Structure 1
Amino acid sequence: SLVYNTFTVSFTKQPYHGAAGNVALLCLQLLRVKLRQQRASEHSAMMEGGMQLLNRDGHSISHNSKRHYHDSFVSMNRMRQRGLLCDIVLHVANKEIKAHKVVLASCSPYFHAMFTNEMSESRQTHVTLHDIDPQALEQLVQYAYTAEIVVGEGNVQTLLPAASLLQLNGVRDACCKFLLSQLDPSNCLGIRGFADTHSCSDLLKSAHKYVLQHFVEVSKTEEFMLLPLKQVLDLISSDNLNVPSEEEVYRAVLSWVKHDIDGRRQHVPRLMKCVRLPLLTRDFLMSNVDTELLVRHHSECKDLLIEALKYHLMPEQRGVLSNSRTRPRRCEGASPVLFAVGGGSLFAIHGDCEAYDTRTDRWHMVASMSTRRARVGVAAIGNKLYAVGGYDGTSDLATVESYDPVTNGWQPEVSMGTRRSCLGVAVLHGLLYAAGGYDGASCLNSAERYDPLTSTWTSIAAMSTRRRYVRVATLDGSLYAVGGYDSSSHLATVENSLASHINKSALVFISNTWTAIANITHDLVAMDGWLYAVGGNDGSSSLNSIEKYNPRSNKWVAASCMFTRRSSVGVAVLELLNFPPPSSPTLSVSSTSL
């Protein structure tokens, strides 16, 4: 028989019959329940002093106390505070700190090497430490016994180097985490320098990234004015500098020089080589740069100014003139955001706009245009979005407006020379090209380009074929006009115009791989390796659905729908650091639910 608490069950090889059999079965069931309860209790029930487990031999138990470590270290810390059984006294400045070698050596590789290797300190009871703050050392010794420490503004600058010296990496990481949480334009340069001094590579990288992302605010601080020349050059040379325009970099350089004009005047040429003068507007170059005495005083600066003016005055040569100073900056950490602008649905023409964040698969409403536009051309230049031409429900448009994501607002730009809806737009070498379209009376083969640096439109060579609903793209320094409709037939032709010979006649060719297509009511844009088809019309109504194509798997999949149904919509992509704008409505909805 097996005895378990108050239950006694006899096992027999005889089969169960009648009432006696029922009793035996009941007893077995009760035994199984009790055994399950015992196993569960052994794994989860904890007594104050620990866990007790019955060994298999039935003659011994294993005792595991979860409080033993805690209670022991609490007791050792009390003994340390009372000076009991201490075998080491640490001297730093005028302070003495008593401790136990075994405790210090167990948590600090620094002390472990000191007390266990054949060093003289291993046999001494008094050790003097240098290059460490007394208060920080006392806090770290306390941490060795308690595993607790408070990091704050008052101690982080002494605690981090002390923890680094003693190789207490947990405390060091906590200090870095605290400093990271305190990053601000007013202190990020100091924290970056502090991290560099103490070889905190992750904190250094994060602080440097913060400086680049908040350069405009940082450049106005006292810390920036006190930077050495090399660090200023490193910052303003970065492609990842986050600035709304190159004017901010130019102003930062002048402010830094004028903070100590006698000592820094000679550095102006080196600094100006890092300012991307060709990206400044012509008006700013003439009214600010050309009139600045610090610039006019150096012949090297005059050469840089001439280079910038040539870039403005000869837009057709920009491909040849391109160098590091003509390359737009792109902030590290910026993400692509798809904008859907205007469009129409049923009897409505839209002026509202929305933006799609691929990271969250959500749409956000942004500021509306000043004019309702369908059949509009949309393109991105730098960090601005341009809405070109279109149809407002009454007439075809020549007007243009631009969207600034920093201010979340639209501003009017210089109008085109020709009214155009159903046009094709593209950007090449910082110039916006508008080709073909419809002016309200006929299809167009004319084309023009816009220079945002000079705010001027210039007519260029016309296409050989009139095209509305044409799509224009750039590839390897060339413009391509694809397909469209010439008022009588759908086109399968493609026109190519080399940008370096933009005023010469265009080449027309037909490929057997192209087929005729119908009027395009949706728009296409590439982003993050996907091709997005936005809005459109299915033959009966306008769509708010989005599909994206993966060329690697050769499959289309649905993405979140827009707020508004839009056909003849314009789309483009901007690289943005901070998105969405504050308080913007959001929408995340499956396209299959509409």
Structure 2
Amino acid sequence: SLSLSLSLSPPPVAQSGGMQLLNRDGHTISHNSKRHYHDSFVCMNRMRQRSLLCDIVLHVSNKEIKAHKVVLASCSPYFHAMFTNEMSESRQTHVTLHDIDPQALEQLVQYSYTAEIVVGEGNVQTLLPAASLLQLNGVRDACCKFLLSQLDPSNCLGIRGFADTHSCSDLLKSAHKYVLQHFVEVSKTEEFMLLPLKQVLDLISSDSLNVPSEEEVYRSVLSWVKHDVDGRRQHVPWLMKCVRLPLLRRDFLMSSVDTELLVRHHSEVKDLLIEALKYHLMPEQRGVLSNSRTRPRRCEGASPVGGAVCCNQLHVFLPARGGQSVVTSCMCSSRPGGGSLFAIHGDCEAYDTRTDRWHMVASMSTRRARVGVAAIGNRLYAVGGYDGTSDLATVESYDPVTNTWQPEVSMGTRRSCLGVAVLHGLLYAAGGYDGASCLNSAERYDPLTSTWTSIPAMSTRRRYVRVATLDGSLYAVGGYDSSSHLSTVEKYDPQSNVWTAIANMLSRRSSAGVAVLEGLLYVAGGNDGTSCLNSVERFNPKTNSWEGVAPMNIRRWVPSPPH
């Protein structure tokens, strides 16, 4: 027989000259391998690809996807519930899934092992709902971020509906905001023509609808009705209640609204037309006649016109206020009865169009002369300028609800005497002076991502340039190139990313006022190098030509000390 004897004895103590290991009671060393997780998942993915130790096969349509339950359950709350609760699938080796795209599922299983996935136009519409089902929120967020980057007037309504269907609240909010900001372009798309009545009513009822004039809202409504006139003509009264007819020009009411058969057919709309005409013909009664249809909508990126802002046919001329000011308009949500005008210099003032009074608002954090000002949504942006010592790249924005200024991301270049404007929800800064030379560079700011991006430079260096937007393009008008005042004008097309020269103005102008009205670009006043101007001219993009119009009664420009 075989007998085994096992004795336990303490480990030998190192002899003199040997290695002494037990010289510190409780001493330990911590080891942390940063590559352990990565290498382990790489190995598990290779095993999955070779079908080694796989304990689950996912069936979707005609596709089979092999995987490891522990990996899927650790990455997806959906699979965690399936494989760890007392569900029948927890004991099965084959599971059939429904209502999920097979290619998307395969990509998401691979993502569970690799933490990598590519989101693009070809897969986002199947990947997002699949990620939502499996509760892979990181992939879901990546899909939303991609869709947000793809927003344009032709697809924003579809993306908004897609976000609503899949409960992507942040994307839904951003897409809806985009629709409101770009309503004029959106209203001309096929997506808009196919909207149901309720969604059209919701859009045209919004105070935040960004339109240069109420005529655009009226035209969009008629276009929507005429897209299916037999099925939609009965909706005209409901639609016209949301169009702010009192804000239409009187001649437009008579020539376009009153003569429209779709309007004249409904007695309810005739009553609305009478209400609008009363608002025009009896200005002393406007306080009594005021209602939701007389409230101006938000006006985005209005530009100064010779020291004045033109917004909803309101003309306000600013006398000298003890310093240089740039004026632009911004709808205050805290003042739903109308818009406000802002005078931006060191101290800041707001003009309330309802009370016909100026009042002080919060001062900027930095004093700025020769600053560019524009409005996006419900925020007013002060861009660059000169603080008395140096030209600035800094930017800050004003929130009229909280009466506070907040710093924004600085431009890539210092700029004073620059031109700014808003196009498709982006803030453009062009030309100016950096403290050493006149600039021809330009850049744009995306408030959704808080980033500035350079765009191609203009062909001409311009400071004291004025910038406006018309028909989806950016116009840089006149200015000063450090040797002469300019009559040249350039147009930037964001689609082609190219500046193009257009017809020269009739006069050289720097520090002029520019504005767009009824598809024409107006330029008023300015300096031609020898005198201050009161002349006004307008540009017709269809004919690429300028023509003079009636001059102002007063010569106007924004004088600046030597720089």
Q: 1:587 to 1:277 in 2, by over 3 A?
A: farther
Q: 1:368 to 1:291 in 2, by over 3 A?
A: closer
Shift of 1:178: 0.4
Conserved 8 A contact 2:309-2:328: no
Aligned to 2:523: none
User: Are 2:430 and 1:583 equivalent residues in the alignment?
Assistant: yes
Aligned to 1:216: 184
Conserved 8 A contact 1:214-1:242: yes
Q: 1:269 to 1:152 in 2, by over 3 A?
A: same
Deviations along 1:285-323, whole A, 9 cap, x unmatched?
Answer: 000000000000000110000000000000111111100
Aligned to 2:317: 387
Conserved 8 A contact 2:124-2:143: yes
> Out of 171, 178, 181, which is 2:146 matched to?
178
2-structure distance, mates of 1:125, 1:579 = 53
Would you say how many aligned residue pairs link Structure 1 and Structure 2?
A: 356
- Superposed, 1:89-100 pairs within 5 Å as 89-100=57-68
Q: 1:212 to 1:368 in 2, by over 3 A?
A: closer
User: Are 2:186 and 1:229 equivalent residues in the alignment?
Assistant: no
Deviations along 1:63-112, whole A, 9 cap, x unmatched?
Answer: 32211111111111111111110000000000000000000000100000
Which residue identity does 1:184 align to in structure 2?
Answer: D
Aligned to 1:330: 298
Q: 1:367 to 1:323 in 2, by over 3 A?
A: closer
Q: 1:308 to 1:196 in 2, by over 3 A?
A: same
Q: 1:289 to 1:130 in 2, by over 3 A?
A: same
Conserved 8 A contact 1:55-1:61: no
Aligned to 1:298: 266
Which residue identity does 1:300 align to in structure 2?
Answer: E
User: Are 2:212 and 1:244 equivalent residues in the alignment?
Assistant: yes
- Superposed, 1:520-535 pairs within 5 Å as 526-528=360-362
> Out of 59, 64, 77, which is 1:109 matched to?
77
Which residue identity does 2:104 align to in structure 1?
Answer: A
Aligned to 1:123: 91
Which residue identity does 1:298 align to in structure 2?
Answer: H
Aligned to 1:498: none
1-structure distance, mates of 2:338, 2:97 = 62
2-structure distance, mates of 1:226, 1:55 = 82
Deviations along 1:185-223, whole A, 9 cap, x unmatched?
Answer: 000000000000000000000000000000000000000
Shift of 1:585: 2.0
**What's the % identity of the aligned pairs?**
77
Partner of 1:257, secondary structure, is helix
Shift of 1:330: 1.4
Conserved 8 A contact 2:339-2:352: no
Aligned to 2:374: none
TM-score, length of structure 2 as denominator length: 0.56
User: Are 2:229 and 1:261 equivalent residues in the alignment?
Assistant: yes
User: Are 2:135 and 1:167 equivalent residues in the alignment?
Assistant: yes
Partner of 1:143, secondary structure, is helix
Q: 1:204 to 1:109 in 2, by over 3 A?
A: same
Which residue identity does 1:526 align to in structure 2?
Answer: M
Of 178-187 and 580-589, deviating more is 580-589
Conserved 8 A contact 1:383-1:404: no
Q: 1:329 to 1:300 in 2, by over 3 A?
A: same
Q: 1:147 to 1:576 in 2, by over 3 A?
A: closer
Conserved 8 A contact 2:296-2:339: no
Aligned to 1:149: 117
Conserved 8 A contact 1:525-1:532: no
Partner of 1:64, secondary structure, is coil
1-structure distance, mates of 2:83, 2:287 = 68
1-structure distance, mates of 2:210, 2:416 = 30
Conserved 8 A contact 2:416-2:432: no
Q: 1:237 to 1:587 in 2, by over 3 A?
A: farther
Q: 1:385 to 1:181 in 2, by over 3 A?
A: farther
Aligned to 1:74: 42
Q: 1:576 to 1:309 in 2, by over 3 A?
A: farther
1-structure distance, mates of 2:225, 2:249 = 23
User: Are 2:284 and 1:316 equivalent residues in the alignment?
Assistant: yes
Conserved 8 A contact 1:384-1:404: no
2-structure distance, mates of 1:127, 1:135 = 16
User: Are 2:285 and 1:285 equivalent residues in the alignment?
Assistant: no
Conserved 8 A contact 2:236-2:263: yes
Aligned to 1:465: none
Conserved 8 A contact 2:304-2:328: no
1-structure distance, mates of 2:71, 2:270 = 68
Shift of 1:59: 7.0
**Structure 2 segments unaligned to the other structure (5+ residues):** 1-21, 321-326, 331-336, 342-349, 370-385, 390-414, 437-562
Q: 1:71 to 1:579 in 2, by over 3 A?
A: closer
Aligned to 1:454: none
2-structure distance, mates of 1:196, 1:245 = 29
**Structure 1 segments unaligned to the other structure (5+ residues):** 1-53, 338-365, 370-375, 391-402, 407-427, 433-472, 481-523, 536-542, 547-561, 565-573
Conserved 8 A contact 1:526-1:532: no
Partner of 2:66, secondary structure, is strand
Which residue identity does 1:176 align to in structure 2?
Answer: C
2-structure distance, mates of 1:214, 1:584 = 25
Partner of 1:151, secondary structure, is coil
Q: 1:126 to 1:322 in 2, by over 3 A?
A: same
Conserved 8 A contact 1:278-1:307: yes
Q: 1:474 to 1:73 in 2, by over 3 A?
A: closer
1-structure distance, mates of 2:160, 2:85 = 36
Partner of 2:293, secondary structure, is coil
Conserved 8 A contact 1:88-1:124: yes
Which residue identity does 1:83 align to in structure 2?
Answer: S
Deviations along 1:150-174, whole A, 9 cap, x unmatched?
Answer: 0000000000000000000000000
Which residue identity does 1:231 align to in structure 2?
Answer: Q
Aligned to 2:525: none
RMSD: 4.2
Shift of 1:586: 6.0
Q: 1:118 to 1:314 in 2, by over 3 A?
A: same
Shift of 1:587: 7.0
Which residue identity does 1:262 align to in structure 2?
Answer: D
Q: 1:102 to 1:575 in 2, by over 3 A?
A: closer
User: Are 2:122 and 1:275 equivalent residues in the alignment?
Assistant: no
Shift of 1:56: 6.2
User: Are 2:50 and 1:203 equivalent residues in the alignment?
Assistant: no
Q: 1:431 to 1:129 in 2, by over 3 A?
A: closer
Conserved 8 A contact 2:156-2:178: yes
2-structure distance, mates of 1:165, 1:430 = 45
